[in-house]
Amino acid sequence: MVTIEPIRVETERETDGRILASVPDLPGVMAYGATELEAVRKVKTIALQVLADMIESGEEVPEPLKALFAA
């Protein structure tokens, strides 16, 4: 398993029991899971896709996440 630490994830439990995970440095990037681990895995997958799309289209990557792409 690969650990992706520079992506800061916040989680909260919804009233229905699901866990909502979000990436504060990428507004709108969020995912639900039955467990915290599932929600975090899902949101990190989405965040990496969003970051890849940003790079491909020439957009600036948010500063806290630039460490992911340091050589």
5-25: pLDDT as tens digits: 678 999 999 999 999 999 999
pTM for this prediction: 0.83
The CATH number of residue 53's host domain is 3.30.160.250
How far, CA to CA in Å, does 61 sit from each of 10, 47, 65?
Answer: 19, 11, 7
The pLDDT assigned to 68 comes to 72
Hey, is 38 helix, strand or coil? helix
**Does the residue 56 lie in any domain?**
yes
Domain that holds residue 28: 10-69
Whether the pLDDT of residue 70 is over 70: the answer is no
pLDDT greater at residue 40 or residue 70: 40
